[in-house]
Structure formats: C-alpha cells, structure tokens
C-alpha cells in the first residue's frame, strides 16, 4: 500500500508539472468502464491529484453499447473504457463516440492502435496473443502460419475458437491472407489439436506445464497474472514452467488485443475527458495503468511491470485494429464452417 501511495504521489507531482499550463479543469468527470473500478483507481487517483478533477467510475458489467444507446442524449458518460478490439471498435461504429482531436494522443499512440478513422478511440494498453511452450523447449520463435506444421500434430492446445480473443486472431489472419488461406489454416490448426478446445488461456498454460500439449495459444496477460499468483500457488507453479514464445505473422508482427478508450458522443465535459485521456498516455500514467492488469503499455517509453518485462517483448503487428475488426463476422463464419470446436 505504501508503494502504491508513493507511486501515485510521484505521478501526481510529475503530471502537475506537465499539465500546469495546459490541463483543462472541471469539477467532475464520469467514466463508464467495463473494467472494475479498483483496477482503475491508481491512475484515476493520480489524475485527480494532478488536476483537481473528481472522476466517478461507473462499472458497466453488461453491454456498454446497449447502456449508451438506452441513455441517448441524457447519458452522463464522458469517457468510455472497454476491453477487447471487438467492443472498442463497436463504440465508433455505432456513433457513440466523438472525435478526439488531440495531437498529444496522436503522438503517443501508434496509428494502428487508434481507430474510427484514426480519431474516435485509442488503445491504452495491449495484450499480445502468442504461442506458449515449456521453458525447457528449444522453440525460440514461431510464426502464426507455422502453427499448421504437421510436426505439431496432436500437440496444440487452445481455448474455444469462438472466444473473442481467438476470433480476433483469426480475423487478423483473414486480413493478412484472405479467405481461402485462412480456411486452410483453420483446418491445419484443427488437425494439430491435442484435444477439443476448452477452458481458458489459464488452462492452456496448465496443460503445457503438465505435458498434455507442447504448445498453445494465449494472451500474455494470462501468463503474467498466473505468475503473479493471482490464481493461487498451484497456478503460479505451472506458469513458472511456461514461456511466451516470440510470435508474429510472416513479414509482420505479433497480433495484439487491447484495452481501449474514447470520449462519449454526448460527453457533458468533453475538454476534461480529452485531458484525462491525454494524461493516461503519459509515461508515468501508462506505467501505472498497464500494471493493473499486467498488460503492455502503448507508449514506447513507459516502463513495464517487472513480470511483463520478464515475459518478453512483442512488436505489435502494423495492421490497423479497425481493419481486423472488419473481418470478425467472416472469421466467425469460417470457424463454424470448419467445425472447429466439434
């Protein structure tokens, strides 16, 4: 707790210097989030300390889109925050956001991690989806394309293909390679499965540790949180025997999912909302925000949590997130056609 207070105090001091001349003050700000308030509290507290703006966090457990559409013009939301590229891109697609119009955001966040014509939402942190293997395995790097190599027959584990994290990966493969190649790739993945896809990314880590499969597909955040002990000592023990293998598309980078944010279309305090997002992409705030869920910061100069740094570096694929999202429906159709989870 003392460490957290110290970090918040330091961040507040640095942010106050950075924003002394430019921050827009407002008495209050309302944040609609599908992430629990306690995970946002360190960054929110630092923003309040730096600017004097009180942030009220409203946890939206069900559909954020449905909540906003039902509230319409009367919505109290200033800032929208959600997890997953499918959910983030829906906000702009439904006309529920407004243009950010912020040079600091454009400088801090790479273009492929901004969407809605590059101006409606931004990623605040990313979650590479890569290959896992045992630490004593000699596998040093792999491409997504190589997952269909016959040498992996009966040795691949993954959660159900229809889960949003896998749909996003398959959509990215579609965007890179087209329908025919993706359909063939899915057939190869299915052929290489150790068993019917089941469970979560956590289970993939456990099965690799137990020797039930040689490789698996998962988000780095799952491995990091297990090593952090959030699921207990058994899970930590399994995670300590598993590594994240540098994984990329042939000629590209690692597929990433994201935690994204936007300014609500009917935001009562749009200037303060923009200042809040600009604050969240400063190096200090990025360090605190990404550490809460053990994600990777989007700002290159931000420090990673020690567990995340230990897992490794993954260069995000340059494919725009909006382009990936546009292939999601087609990806789901191909998953069904392949009978992938049967």
Q: What is the pLDDT of residues 161-199, one digit of tens each?
A: 999 999 999 999 999 999 999 999 999 999 999 999 999
Could you list the beta-strand ranges (E) of the chain.
28-33, 54-59, 79-83, 97-98, 114-115, 121-134, 142-143, 156-157, 215-219, 242-245, 247-248, 256-264, 296-297
What digits encode the pLDDT tens for the residues 245-255?
999 999 999 99
Instruction: Work out the pLDDT band at 102, boundaries 50, 70, 90.
Output: very high
Instruction: Tell me if 255 sits within 8 A of 176, measured CB to CB.
Output: no
- Which of 27 and 285 is assigned the larger pLDDT? 285
Is the pLDDT at 158 greater than 90? The verdict is: yes
Question: How many CB atoms within 10 Å of residue 318?
Answer: 12
* Strand, helix or coil for residue 184: helix
Determine the Cα–Cα distance for residues 172 and 164; give it in Å rounded to an integer.
12
Instruction: Tell me if 252 sits within 8 A of 319, measured CB to CB.
Output: yes
- Give me the mean pLDDT over the 65-88 stretch: 96
Instruction: Work out the pLDDT band at 27, boundaries 50, 70, 90.
Output: confident
How would you classify the pairing of strands 121-134 and 215-219?
antiparallel
pLDDT of residue 62: 83
pTM, two decimal places: 0.91
Instruction: Tell me if 60 sits within 8 A of 67, measured CB to CB.
Output: yes
- Which of 1 and 245 is assigned the larger pLDDT? 245
**10 CB contacts (<8 Å, ≥6 apart)?**
284
What digits encode the pLDDT tens for the residues 280-331?
999 999 999 999 999 999 999 999 999 999 999 999 999 999 999 999 999 9
Question: How many CB atoms within 10 Å of residue 60?
Answer: 19
* CA dihedral for 21, 27, 30, 35, sign (positive or negative): positive
Is the pLDDT at 5 greater than 60? The verdict is: no
C-alpha dihedral over 316, 318, 319, 322, to 10 degrees? 80
Instruction: Tell me if 224 sits within 8 A of 304, measured CB to CB.
Output: no
Q: What does the mean pLDDT of the chain come to?
A: 92
pLDDT of residue 16: 39
Q: Please give the full DSSP string across 79-129, using - where no structure is assigned.
A: EEEEESHHHHHHHHHTT-EE----HHHHHHS-GGGEETTTTSEEEEEEEEE
Domains and CATH numbers, the chain: 2-126+256-305 (3.40.190.10), 128-254+316-336 (3.40.190.10)
How would you classify the pairing of strands 242-245 and 247-248?
unpaired
- Give me the mean pLDDT over the 12-18 stretch: 41
Instruction: Work out the pLDDT band at 118, boundaries 50, 70, 90.
Output: confident
Instruction: Work out the pLDDT band at 22, boundaries 50, 70, 90.
Output: very low
pLDDT of residue 26: 55
pLDDT of residue 6: 41
> Count of residues for the chain?
342
pLDDT > 90: percent of the chain: 89
């Amino acid at each position: 707790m003392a460490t957290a207070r110290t970090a918040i105090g330091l961040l507040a001091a640095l942010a106050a210097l950075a924003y002394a001349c430019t921050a827009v003050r407002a008495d209050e700000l309302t944040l609609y989030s599908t992430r629990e308030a306690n995970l946002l509290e360190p960054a929110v507290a630092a923003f309040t300390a730096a600017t004097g703006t009180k942030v009220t966090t409203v946890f939206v457990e069900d559909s954020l889109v449905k909540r906003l559409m039902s509230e319409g013009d009367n919505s109290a939301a200033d800032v929208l925050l959600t997890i997953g590229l499918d959910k983030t891109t829906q906000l702009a697609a439904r006309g529920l956001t407004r243009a950010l119009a912020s040079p600091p955001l454009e400088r801090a966040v790479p273009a492929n991690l901004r969407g809605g014509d590059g101006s409606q939402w931004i990623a605040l942190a990313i979650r590479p989806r890569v290959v896992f293997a045992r630490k004593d395995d000699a596998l040093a790097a792999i491409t997504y394309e190589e997952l269909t190599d016959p040498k992996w027959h009966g040795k691949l584990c993954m959660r159900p293909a229809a889960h949003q994290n896998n749909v996003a990966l398959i959509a990215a493969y579609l965007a890179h390679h087209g329908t025919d190649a993706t359909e063939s790739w899915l057939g190869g993945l299915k052929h290489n499965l150790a068993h019917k896809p089941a469970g979560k990314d956590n289970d993939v880590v456990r099965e690799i540790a137990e020797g039930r499969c040689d490789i698996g597909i998962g988000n780095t955040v799952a491995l990091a949180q297990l090593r952090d002990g959030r699921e207990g000592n058994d899970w930590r023990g399994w995670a300590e025997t598993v590594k994240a293998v540098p994984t990329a598309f042939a000629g590209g980078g690692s597929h990433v999912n994201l935690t994204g944010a936007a300014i609500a279309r009917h935001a009562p305090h749009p200037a303060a909302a923009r200042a809040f997002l600009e604050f969240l992409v400063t190096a200090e705030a990025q360090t605190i925000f990404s550490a809460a869920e053990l994600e990777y910061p989007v700002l290159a100069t931000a420090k990673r949590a020690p567990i995340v740094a230990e897992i490794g570096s993954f260069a995000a694929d340059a494919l725009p997130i909006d382009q990936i999202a546009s292939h999601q429906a087609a990806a789901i159709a191909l998953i069904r056609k392949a009978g992938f989870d049967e």
